[in-house]
Amino acid sequence: MNTDPIIWLTIFVLAIFVGIAVISKVSSTLHTPLMSGANAIHGVILVGAILVAGSAQSTPILILGLVAVILASINMVGGFVVTDRMLVMFSRPKRAIEKSGRRELDK
Amino acid sequence: MTPAWAQLGYLIAAVCFIVALKGLSSPKTARRGNLIGAAGALLACVIVFLASDIQHLLPILAAIAAGTAIGVLGAYRVQMTQMPQLVALFNGVGGGAAAIVAIIELTELSGGAAPVFDLIATAFTIVVGSVSFAGSVVTFLKLQELMTTRPVVFAGYPILYGLGLLAAVGFSVGLVLAPSLVFAVLLAVVGAGLGVLLVLPVGGADVPIVISLLNAFTGLTVAASGYLLENALLLVAGTLVGSAGTLLTRLMASAMGRSLINILFGALKGGSTLGATTLSDRPVKSAGPADVAILLAYAQRVIIIPGYGLAVAQAQHTLRQLVDLLQERGVQVDYAIHPVAGRMPGHMNVLLAEAQVPYEQLKEMDEIDPEFKQADVALVVGANDVVNPAAETTPGAPIYGMPILHANQARQVVFMKRSMRPGFAGIENELLYEPTTTLLFGDAKDTMSKLLAELKALTV
């Protein structure tokens, strides 16, 4: 099976550093959306859930696998949607100001 | 074996996730970043159906549809004030999914001589996934105030915790030596117990940091199951979330001036029962909306400290009208946003942005704190712990060490409060009894409307 664990270890260690590097400069304003976004990303366990459910050989295992699929899709889809909802609110005030500015010009 | 084109597709998805995290750490690119992450996740799900031999296609698609419906419904229905608990739940079910995947994978491994590394990864995923699941459920109960928000500790807690850890290690060794479903189930149960024990002693105000920590835990379990399933995407995505989540947890903790050890185990040292029964009937000065309106109207500099109570009462729109009116009168008004105002860092920015408060009026703590000395009025609306001097004066308090907004340095402090009930951290606020402090009792929205009416009357 895993012929060379060293390769997997290499990927793992490099990914740790990438993860730290990409978010090292983040303002506290964005802590909540960032956490929520990262939360959605680990919802990709859905791929794993599909794999095990798709190769299930018995009914109990299949049912268990389907439960995992449901849970993982809640995590992934819900995570991305709620993050987007938060971030829309950050961009909205700007648009509101532009709109009111335009209205004044119209007058 | 996964075909090469699929592996390349997974690589693209992994890059999407990295770009997504990078985008999420800057306000300008945050929304695009999140969408790129979603695109990567979608790509990965399409690839797994095309590249792998997936049986039971219909039930699986139905399960995805069900999960998607629940997730979308939850994400759209939730009030922005309750968003932290929703994120906690999403995180918990992710951890649960990872644990289940590992258990199923074990039933396939246990047939013959499974590699030791695989079994270790299995044990790790089951334990930590269960910790994440059960821990998240407890954080949900705390944030939803379905259970006490105060730290829960009981005699024998350290012993129970130690026994739990020993059992987890013991069952893991058992699983590696003799792979069987019995050990897997035992590990899941012990993990769930440890998750509950981990979150119980954490005080209400610190719960968001624990959510972030559990988020990182779930990331690591996803990474471990990626190794198990020989799927590089899961390994990379999980590790990214694990390391970024750990760093984020530390950043959040330092924004509150707390160490992670203190947050998790501080209650065990005792002392944080402080304030539990000291709700006193000492005299306070209270006033009506008319008095406060005059105070605000003839001030030159007003700083508003919004808190969770404002958002719960949905008074942020009325507050914005009040501020607009004050500014028309020439009063300089700013909002002082404490890093943990609301329920977690950045939460208050989201809530005020929803009420269309201009971004420029939201001042972060470091920027606004020195200006309290020049302020005529500090108006505290539905906040409490973030202005509590106990964070600096009382070493035993659960919030000790948290940086606070020095509202007490303003010439006048006005508290809009529903009652004398203490804040989320459950401790009393000395500032309420200061001679410069005036209290305006009532529901935030109701009182705010009255205040607005009085101010309009003054302006005409």
What number is the ipTM of this complex?
0.86
Position B189 pLDDT exceeds 80:
yes
Q: Contacts of residue B236 in chain A, CB cutoff 8 Å? A: 11, 15
Shortest CA gap B349–chain A (Å): 7
Q: Which of A22, A56, A73 sits opposite B21 (nearest CB)?
A: A22
Distance from CA of B157 to the nearest CA of A (A): 30
pLDDT value at residue B344: 73
Q: What angle do CA B110, B114, B118 make, to 5 degrees?
A: 100
3-state secondary structure chain A: CCCCHHHHHHHHHHHHHHHHHHCCCCCHHHHHHHHHHHHHHHHHHHHHHHHHHHCCCCHHHHHHHHHHHHHHHHHHHHHHHHHHHHHHHHHHHHHHHHHHHHHHHHC
Mutate to test the interface with B, among A3, A6, A31, A95 (most CBs of B within 10 A): A31
Question: What's the CA gap between B436 and B34, in Å, rounded?
Answer: 46
Residue-level pLDDT at A103: 40
Measured between beta carbons, the chain B residues lying within 8 angstroms of A50 are 45, 48-49, 54, 60, 64
- CB contact (8 A) between residue A47 and residue B231: yes
Lowest mean pLDDT among A36-50, B43-57, B394-408: B394-408
- Phi and psi at residue B355, to the nearest 5°: -85, 10
- pLDDT tens digits, B109-144: 766 667 888 999 999 999 999 999 999 999 999 888
Kindly determine whether residue B63 and residue A42, on different chains, have CB atoms separated by under 8 Å.
Answer: no
Tell me the two tokens of residue A1.
């099976």
User: What does the alpha-carbon distance between residue B75 and residue A91 come to, in Å, rounded to a whole number?
Assistant: 18
Rounded to an integer, the average pLDDT of A5-31 is 89
Q: Which residues of B are catalytic?
A: 385
pLDDT of residue A58: 92
**Rounded mean pLDDT of A7-11?**
92
- Residue B289 to chain A, least CA–CA distance (Å): 29
Contact status of B436 with chain A (Cβ, < 8 Å) = no
Contact B353 A62 (CB under 8 A): no
Task: Check pLDDT > 60 for residue A99.
Answer: no
| Exposure class string for B39-55: b at 16+ Cβ within 10 A, else e | bbbebbbebbeebbebe
pLDDT tens-place string over residues B237-262: 999 999 999 999 988 887 777 778 87
Q: Within 10 A of B270 (CB to CB), how many other CB atoms are there?
A: 10
Q: Quick one: which H or E segment has residue B335?
A: strand B332-337
CB contact under 8 A, B21 and A82: no
Query: Searching chain B, which residue's CA lies closest to the CA of residue A25?
Result: B25
Nearest to B41 among A28, A44, A70 (CB): A44
Query: Do the Cβ atoms of A50 and B47 come closer than 8 Å?
Result: no
Q: Which residues of B touch A90 (CB under 8 A)?
A: 27, 30-31, 349-350, 353
- Decide if B342 contacts B418 (C-beta within 8 A): no
CA-to-CA separations, B225 to A3, A70, B119, in angstroms, rounded:
16, 17, 11
Chain A nearest C-alpha distance from B371 (Å): 20
A62-91 pLDDT per residue, tens: 999 999 999 999 999 999 999 999 888 776
Question: E strands of B240-313, at which residues?
Answer: 301-306
